[in-house]
Amino acid sequence: MVTAKVWVLKKHFEGFPKTSDFEMKEVALANLKDGEMLLESVFLSVDPYMRPYSKRDMKEGDVMIGTQIASRIVESKNPAFAVGAFVVANSGWRTHFISDGRGLNLLPSSWPESLPKSLALGTIGMPGLTAYFGLFEVCKMKPGETVLVNAAAGAVGSVVGQLAKIGGCKVVGCAGSDSKVAYLKKIGFDEAFNYKTVSSLDEALRKASPDGYDCFFDNVGGEFASIAINQMKKYGRIAVCGAISQYNDSVPQKGPYVQFPMIFKELSMKGFIVSSWSNRREEGVKALLKWVLEGKLKYHEQVTERFENMPAAFIGMLKGENLGKAIVKV
């Protein structure tokens, strides 16, 4: 019999999550039935959505939700999945789990041995797909345009900026430290600045693109978005991807009041969830994998060692300690 370690939500988060809000438990797994298999997590993902979704979807005592991923099959009574295959699963913060195969995504057969499998959680996974569909389908970015992205050095933002460059755009990114800004310039952003140290966000955005922005890929929301919206060009498009500056608020922030710039500049603003393009996952993964292999799409991962450190990795990511995708290696 296999015993799995799992992390449960001990207490609903109030404000910023704390390690004491989580509890690690051991769970004995049942024997496999025909069609089932035992999976062992190799890498797990910590993502911003876990914070707002925990409030919406979970009760205290539940296993933490997770786009938890890249698990190795150690035993299989399901002929569709060979022992040793790697899959992307969505089974929460668990070291081991039993699955009948439903909802699992095999890594593409063209995945080279040399490429980290953890990229299936980041640049070539859900965050990369968010950038891909958000930019091409929501922003409807065109060559020659100027694209603004915030949380730019993170999992989604770093892909947004590079895809916009691949698509022939000028890209402006902002992030929360000077080393992140240096990274953005290294991977090809035309302009980048540290939003925490500029004396005026409005001036920094104007200096980076005096003519304004055609596309704004918003990962942050709140005050940043309410300032940036005023610097959109006429007919500009805003993809509302995330609002991480608001996820830990106990009291909702006031505003932004978007009506004036939206009316005067005839802007389009659209919220979206990546899973709306689940039927095009294969297309997105194939495109992202190709760009990575061609060296056009660079990646960085912030790897935290050991399953025991899942809460610390999650909290660290919310605080901005990650460069690129925050991953936990079991």
Ligand X SMILES: NC(=O)C1=CN([C@@H]2O[C@H](COP(=O)(O)OP(=O)(O)OC[C@H]3O[C@@H](n4cnc5c(N)ncnc54)[C@H](OP(=O)(O)O)[C@@H]3O)[C@@H](O)[C@H]2O)C=CC1
Q: Write out the residues near ligand LHD4SSLZ by the rule CB under 6 A.
A: 48-49, 52, 56, 67, 88, 90, 125-126, 242, 273-275
Asked whether the beta carbons of 217 and 160 are under 8 A apart, the reply is yes
Helices vs strands, H then E, count in the chain: 9, 15
Contacts of 254 (CB under 8 A, 6+ apart): none
Query: Between the CA of residue 319 and those of 16, 60, 213, 277, what are the distances in Å?
Result: 9, 23, 28, 29
Q: Is 328 in the site for ligand X (CB under 6 A)?
A: no
Least separation, in Å, of the C-beta of 48 and ligand X? 4
- Binding partner at 244 among ligand X, ligand LHD4SSLZ, none, C-beta below 5 to 8 Å by kind: ligand X
Distance CA 317, CA 293 (A): 27
Q: Does 49 bind ligand X (CB under 6 A)?
A: yes
Residue 50 interacts with ligand X (CB under 6 A)?
Answer: no
Subset of residues 108 to 147 that bind ligand X, contact rule: CB under 6 A: 127, 130
Work out how close the CB of 126 gets to ligand LHD4SSLZ at its nearest, in angstroms, rounded to a whole number: 4
Q: Does 151 bind ligand X (CB under 6 A)?
A: yes
DSSP-derived pairing of the beta strands 105-106 and 86-88: antiparallel
Work out the end-to-end distance of the chain between its first and last CA atoms, rounded to an integer number of angstroms: 20
Q: How far is the CB of 173 from ligand LHD4SSLZ (least distance, A)?
A: 18
CB of 34 to ligand LHD4SSLZ, least distance (A): 26
CA–CA distance, 236 with 269 (Å, rounded to integer):
9
Question: Binding mask 172-211 vs ligand X (x if CB under 6 A, - otherwise)?
Answer: ---xxx--x-------------------------------
Q: Is 155 among the residues that bind ligand X (CB under 6 A)?
A: yes
Kindly list the distances between the CA atom of residue 96 and the CA atoms of 30, 69, 273, 276, 284, in Å, as whole numbers in the listed order: 11, 11, 28, 28, 28
Tell me how many residues contact ligand X (CB under 6 A). 30
Number of residues that this document lists for the chain? 330
Q: Counting Cβ atoms within 10 Å, is residue 310 exposed (0-12), middle (13-18) or buried (19+)?
A: buried
Q: What minimum distance in Å lies between the beta carbon of 149 and ligand X? A: 10
Q: Which is nearer to ligand LHD4SSLZ, 23 or 223 (CB)?
A: 223
- Write out the residues near ligand X by the rule CB under 6 A: 47-49, 127, 130, 151, 153-157, 175-177, 180, 219-220, 241-245, 272-274, 317-318, 320, 322, 326
